[in-house]
Chain A
């Protein structure tokens, strides 16, 4: 069994975490997340050319007659290009494809491999739906923890365990979002519905992890003659190896998908990996230290 003095250095861990959160909030405030099609609305067309990809200038020229707005052309390096524009009607879609067909290179063979269009109203709806779902999951989680931990009300009330778990969750979500704000700014990584799904999964995993750590504390408290801090430290050490091993296995399985799963799923898996790593970190280095602080403040107030 390990005997890391995690609780002893709790100030350090909490400072590091706070620092990361602040940096993430700054990144989000300055750059924001790069919203993808699902949230902005618009169209995305991916076209593959058998005989070599035309230049961006050529495409823009030909597309003048199709009259699309906010046109962005992006070669993918796979002999295909991705076109984005604002209009979502089928007519515009066909007009763009027709314009592309007039290019020289199109004569060698041109296939439309992907087309997505989302009306602006649907985009806005997805945005609000996403927030609702995240809020609901948080509520459900707090409720469950309060019930599951209701027997351990001494010395820290059971709802406070729930509160700490949620603080750890916010920590995970904010840092993950912050990292994606940075990725969005420098690498044009976009955020779509899968990103929201990833966040929700991270919520589930992070709480799972935090609960396992708290569970030990819950089990040890009634029999323990040590101080609260020492009991928490002891419990933490008992679960440390398990937490680390579990996050290793999860990250290994996701790593396989990251490497082999193809480009369409890459961003999603990345979000999962970042989030789950944060989740494991927060269960060990944020949740329990906070628990000890809560108890300290409680005592100081008496």
Chain B
């Protein structure tokens, strides 16, 4: 019975071929995303073997983002003592602390620290600093531990140096400023605020000093009219305005060539220097790099063995369908690994669109779109997949375990389908109907079961800290993708092979006989 179909395809067979094409596209993108470096090596080997006749385009190689327990490094948890700071200023002062810590860490030569500010359940402000691959943790801790220092300096002397420029005989004269500390420090700054110049609307930073500071400021500006005065935070000069006149009253305005962002940043930094926020180290986790490398090696071995064991079991027990499920599992593994990495935009789109198209086509075919619950879940899952495909997932040891666990769970959907299929065959249904019915009737169980796992993962992801969150994220990604891929890929592959051979050799399907 041919249904009058409004779709692009005239026959079931064309639809099936299109689905297979989509699966191929999805598999290729997953492969490129997860194992791009292998592909590039292959492309190199190929062009060398064919003497540069066949040159395949290269793809971007994306590394995994490893957590500290795999990379080696340290995580420091600081608690900020905000008791002296009014409620309204607390959040911004914490941001200031974060900036200071970042600069301090950078100055020790550690690259790319990851610094987060958050609030604990009890309302304390915490700063979490992650330093990857750090050789000298204790040095970094010492550097971070000091509260920010704000100083005001004036010029002490001017010295001229000459430098030769190339072979030209013209000498370029450079003046270098030598700075000298004044008595005025952050202790005397009451606060700094962002203002806009009433005349031309440019952003300015207004400084307000306390009584002692106002006096000192008056002296300093008096001494240095038409000279520069430097504002230095942690030995880093953040601003060096020229004094236009002596200023009394303890209020001053720094103006000139700020963007709003720069001005805001300066205010934040000044306020940090002005209101020292003492930070206290309350937690530390350090893993040495070799231990991390060992964990990586272990995980890799475990992953391969796990995959092989599951594949072996499926093939032995379910025979031909088992083989199909192993192919599906292989594509699944690549897809999840690809999502763990940060895929470039074009890859992400192809990945998501092909997955989406596959899911729509199969579901329409099997008519298992059943209601708001399913639709809502899919929308949510796809949003998360989109998000994670384009951002990285930090892999920790627990996270990788979650992934390996999901390999075992991924086959569950397939097992459900195959058991149903066998049952329908035993009930006397012909092969193609049995396959379709198997899918249709297994779907509600698959959906409900996986949804509860996903809900548990959501809780883990939203509540947890690094370790908990990472595990929740990898398990969530694994379960979602397995749910989609197993239905779609397995059903399509099974339907191609609905043919006379299988009908006459039911052993391959695990049943005794098949009716036609």
Complex CA gap A121/B120 in Å reads: 11
> Could you tell me the distance in whole angstroms from the C-beta of A107 to the nearest C-beta in chain B?
20
- Residues in A with CB closer than 8 Å to B141 are 90
Q: Check A259 for interface membership: any CB of B closer than 8 A.
A: yes
> Could you tell me the distance in whole angstroms from the C-beta of A253 to the nearest C-beta in chain B?
3
Select which of B138, B303, B309, B452 is within 8 A of A141 by beta carbon.
Answer: B452
Select which of B77, B408, B445 is within 8 A of A122 by beta carbon.
Answer: B77
**Docked complex: B448-489 residues within 8 A CB-CB of A:** 448-453, 455-457, 459-460, 463-464, 467-468, 471-472, 475
- A245 touching B285, Cβ below 8 Å: no
- Residues in B with CB closer than 8 Å to A208 are 449-450, 452-453
- B456 touching A200, Cβ below 8 Å: yes
- A114 touching B287, Cβ below 8 Å: yes
- A112 touching B408, Cβ below 8 Å: no
Q: A113-B291, A137-B459, A256-B306 are in contact. Are A119 and B467 (CB under 8 A)?
A: no
- A204 touching B456, Cβ below 8 Å: yes
- Residues in A with CB closer than 8 Å to B467 are 193-194, 197
Q: A211-B445, A215-B445, A246-B411 are in contact. Are A256 and B285 (CB under 8 A)?
A: no
- Residues in B with CB closer than 8 Å to A129 are 121, 463
Q: Check A300 for interface membership: any CB of B closer than 8 A.
A: no
Shortest Cβ distance from B317 into A: residue:
A245
**Docked complex: A226-269 residues within 8 A CB-CB of B:** 238-239, 241-242, 245-246, 248-257, 259-262, 264-265, 268-269
Of the listed residues A113, A144, A249, the one surrounded by the most CB atoms of chain B closer than 10 A to its CB is: A249
> Could you tell me the distance in whole angstroms from the C-beta of B312 to the nearest C-beta in chain A?
9
- Residues in B with CB closer than 8 Å to A58 are none
Q: Check B164 for interface membership: any CB of A closer than 8 A.
A: no
- A114 touching B286, Cβ below 8 Å: yes
Complex CA gap A232/B299 in Å reads: 42
- Residues in A with CB closer than 8 Å to B426 are 1
Q: Check A4 for interface membership: any CB of B closer than 8 A.
A: no
**Docked complex: A133-174 residues within 8 A CB-CB of B:** 133, 136-137, 140-141, 144-145, 147-148
- B408 touching A253, Cβ below 8 Å: yes
- B449 touching A212, Cβ below 8 Å: yes
Of the listed residues A145, A194, A197, A254, the one surrounded by the most CB atoms of chain B closer than 10 A to its CB is: A197
Complex CA gap A113/B138 in Å reads: 14
Cβ proximity bits B304-318 to A, threshold 8 Å, 1 near / 0 not: 011101100110010
- Residues in A with CB closer than 8 Å to B6 are none
Complex CA gap A147/B301 in Å reads: 42
Interface residues on A, range: 35 or more
Complex CA gap A148/B452 in Å reads: 11
Main secondary structure of the interface of A (DSSP, over half): helix
Shortest Cβ distance from A257 into B: residue:
B302
Q: A125-B121, A256-B309, A257-B306 are in contact. Are A200 and B283 (CB under 8 A)?
A: no
Q: Check B355 for interface membership: any CB of A closer than 8 A.
A: no
Select which of B373, B408, B416 is within 8 A of A252 by beta carbon.
Answer: B408
Q: A116-B285, A252-B309, A254-B405 are in contact. Are A261 and B445 (CB under 8 A)?
A: no
Q: Check A293 for interface membership: any CB of B closer than 8 A.
A: no
- Residues in A with CB closer than 8 Å to B290 are 113
Q: Check A3 for interface membership: any CB of B closer than 8 A.
A: no
- A90 touching B468, Cβ below 8 Å: no
Select which of B77, B120, B405, B450 is within 8 A of A253 by beta carbon.
Answer: B405
- B397 touching A219, Cβ below 8 Å: no
- A194 touching B408, Cβ below 8 Å: no
- A90 touching B455, Cβ below 8 Å: no
- B459 touching A136, Cβ below 8 Å: yes
- B397 touching A133, Cβ below 8 Å: no
Q: Check B228 for interface membership: any CB of A closer than 8 A.
A: no
- B286 touching A201, Cβ below 8 Å: no
- Residues in B with CB closer than 8 Å to A241 are 419
Shortest Cβ distance from A194 into B: residue:
B398
Q: A114-B286, A260-B305, A262-B298 are in contact. Are A253 and B419 (CB under 8 A)?
A: no
> Could you tell me the distance in whole angstroms from the C-beta of A207 to the nearest C-beta in chain B?
4
- Residues in B with CB closer than 8 Å to A114 are 286-288, 291
Q: Check B81 for interface membership: any CB of A closer than 8 A.
A: no
Select which of A112, A219, A272 is within 8 A of B286 by beta carbon.
Answer: A112
- Residues in B with CB closer than 8 Å to A17 are none
Select which of B401, B405, B452 is within 8 A of A211 by beta carbon.
Answer: B452
Q: Check A9 for interface membership: any CB of B closer than 8 A.
A: no
- Residues in B with CB closer than 8 Å to A216 are 445
Q: Check A89 for interface membership: any CB of B closer than 8 A.
A: yes
Cβ proximity bits A207-225 to B, threshold 8 Å, 1 near / 0 not: 1110110011001000000
- Residues in B with CB closer than 8 Å to A197 are 398, 460, 464, 467-468, 471-472
Select which of A125, A259, A272 is within 8 A of B302 by beta carbon.
Answer: A259
Of the listed residues B141, B145, B412, B472, the one surrounded by the most CB atoms of chain A closer than 10 A to its CB is: B412
Complex CA gap A257/B138 in Å reads: 33
- Residues in A with CB closer than 8 Å to B138 are 90, 94
Q: Check B444 for interface membership: any CB of A closer than 8 A.
A: yes
- A140 touching B455, Cβ below 8 Å: yes
**Docked complex: B420-456 residues within 8 A CB-CB of A:** 423, 426, 441, 444-445, 448-453, 455-456
- A144 touching B286, Cβ below 8 Å: no
- Residues in B with CB closer than 8 Å to A119 are 79, 282-283
Complex CA gap A125/B291 in Å reads: 28
Complex CA gap A201/B401 in Å reads: 12
- Residues in B with CB closer than 8 Å to A111 are 288
Q: Check A60 for interface membership: any CB of B closer than 8 A.
A: no
- A122 touching B283, Cβ below 8 Å: yes
**Docked complex: B132-190 residues within 8 A CB-CB of A:** 137-138, 141, 145
- Residues in A with CB closer than 8 Å to B373 are 147-148
Q: Check A117 for interface membership: any CB of B closer than 8 A.
A: yes
> Could you tell me the distance in whole angstroms from the C-beta of A14 to the nearest C-beta in chain B?
24
Question: Can you show 18 pairs from A to B with CB atoms below 8 A apart?
Answer: A90-B138, A115-B284, A118-B282, A144-B452, A194-B398, A196-B468, A207-B449, A215-B445, A238-B423, A245-B419, A248-B313, A260-B298, A261-B302, A262-B295, A262-B298, A265-B298, A265-B397, A265-B398
Q: A201-B471, A219-B444, A264-B69 are in contact. List 14 more A-B contacts (CB 8 A).
A: A125-B122, A133-B459, A145-B452, A147-B373, A193-B467, A197-B471, A204-B455, A204-B457, A207-B456, A248-B313, A250-B412, A256-B306, A261-B302, A262-B397
B interface residues with partner A (beta carbon < 8 Å): 69, 77, 79, 120-122, 137-138, 141, 145, 281-288, 290-291, 294-295, 298-299, 301-303, 305-307, 309-310, 313-314, 317, 373, 397-398, 401-402, 404-405, 407-409, 411-412, 415-416, 419, 423, 426, 441, 444-445, 448-453, 455-457, 459-460, 463-464, 467-468, 471-472, 475
Leading 4 A-B pairs by shortest Cβ distance: A204-B456, A253-B408, A256-B306, A250-B408
